[in-house]
Amino acid sequence: MNWKTLDDMELNGKRVLTRVDINVPMENGHITDATRIERIATTINDIKSKGGSPILLAHLGRPNGKVNPKLSLQQLVPTLEITFKCPVFFTDNPSRDWINEKPSDAVILLENMRFNEMEEQNTPALAQFLATLGDIFCNDAFSTCHRSHASTVGVAKLLPSCAGHLMQIELNALKSALSNPLRPVGAVVGGAKVSSKLELLQNLVKKIDTLVIGGGMANTFLAAQGAELGSSLQEPDLHNIARSILATADAENCRIILPRDGRISTIFAAHAPNKIISLNTQTQLKPDEMVLDAGDKTTEDIITEFRSLKTLIWNGPLGAFEIEPFNTATMKASKAAAAFTLSGSLITVAGGGDTVAALNQAGVVDEFSYVSTAGGAFLEWMEGKKLPGIAALL
């Protein structure tokens, strides 16, 4: 992990092209959650304090290479100015001459990078043009690092480059969780489908000591071993792969924790009639019954496991956390993990859209050691893949 950081760069009098993630949720032209903007403030303020001028490269939504006024970054300027406590100069037609007319510590925002079809194609011409606008490149958007785009990879190869503070924190957190963790290290991997996290599971069982599998994924593993789970969400086509992952885990001395009880119902709806039953390879549910959450005994098993761990990675819920009471296991287990973190006995690193939503629901996002807002990039890192945006900084 040989990347440079802002602390390694001479910024005084420099225009610093800064790739940021301000892809915030919008509703009727208004930002509904400004967390991503707030999280880049440290990097922006540090560049300014060292005499540099941040030029923000970013995207909003999926315009697919076409100009879409509803996805213009101009609408974010008021929130950026409030967050950074300074004017923000916006342009959809940048040039070095226009930039040089601005104060030496100005914050400049360029229009949505993805309005240009050359961005996602990582066309050399666009990267070369962007490089003319600045003197240094700083990538502070880990969430885009799994994409080989002009504003993340192309320009990084043309200018002196470094990681921003948010990127540095994220990479250090991920390194401490998987590359060089305090042991024993465990992971919670949940969600609907094994197919969406196949590579993650295959990578983790070779690197960690304990793997908790939850959600619909757990149903596939139980069914692969003979359980009849009625109308529960599961993937019959992946039974062989599930058995293979279990065998690999056994060979690698990674202990798998699957639900030994579950909350079931015949209706997928909030407050539907439900009950908790034992789960094992001999389970025979009725055709209209489905497992929607881990049961109380399983939750206690998981919490007991947390007590023995030094590092925990969390990606995905343990049940249908969007609807009560099928969020019970996720809420209890995440609150327990947060309590162990606050006590200093556990390092917790979490990421993924559903994961962040679940931790927000439990009110423990700020109590985990680190929670990544990156979706695909977080998952690909955990899968052991090389991220182009990181490689470009080495």
Question: How would you class 5 by CB atoms within 10 Å of its CB: exposed for 0-12, middle for 13-18, buried for 19 or more?
Answer: middle
Return the bridge partners of 371, or none.
350
Which residue is it, tokens 């109380």? Answer: 296
Residue 373 is encoded by which pair of tokens?
Answer: 């807002």
353 tagged catalytic: yes
E-only strand ranges, the chain: 15-19, 26-27, 30-31, 53-57, 88-91, 107-110, 136-139, 161-163, 185-189, 210-213, 255-257, 261-265, 275-278, 290-294, 311-315, 347-351, 370-372
Please, how many CA atoms are within 13 Å of residue 181, restricted to the half-sphere of its CB? Answer: 23
Asked if 243 is an active-site residue, the reply is: no
Run of H or E including 304: helix 296-308
Residue whose tokens read 């062989």: 240
Residues in the chain: 394
In contact, 194 and 222? CB cutoff 8 Å: no
- The count of other CB atoms within 10 Å of the CB of residue 50 is 17
**Rounded CA separation 27/128 (Å):** 35
Cβ atoms of residues 79 and 44 within 8 Å: no
**Taken in order 352, 253, 194, 197, is the CA torsion positive or negative?**
positive
Q: Is 193 a catalytic residue?
A: yes
- Select which of 61, 375, 376, 384 is catalytic: 376
Strand order, beta sheet including 261-265 = 275-278, 261-265, 290-294
36 classed as catalytic: yes
> What contacts 32, CB < 8 A, 6 or more positions away?
24, 25, 26
- From 193, 207, 297, 310, the catalytic residue: 193
Please pick, among 15, 19, 36, 114, the residue that the annotation labels catalytic. Answer: 36
SS3 content of the chain, % helix, strand, coil (to 5): 45, 20, 40
Catalytic annotation, pick one of 61, 353, 375, 384: 353
Say if residues 181 and 310 touch (Cβ distance below 8 Å).
yes
Name the residues annotated as catalytic.
36, 193, 353, 376
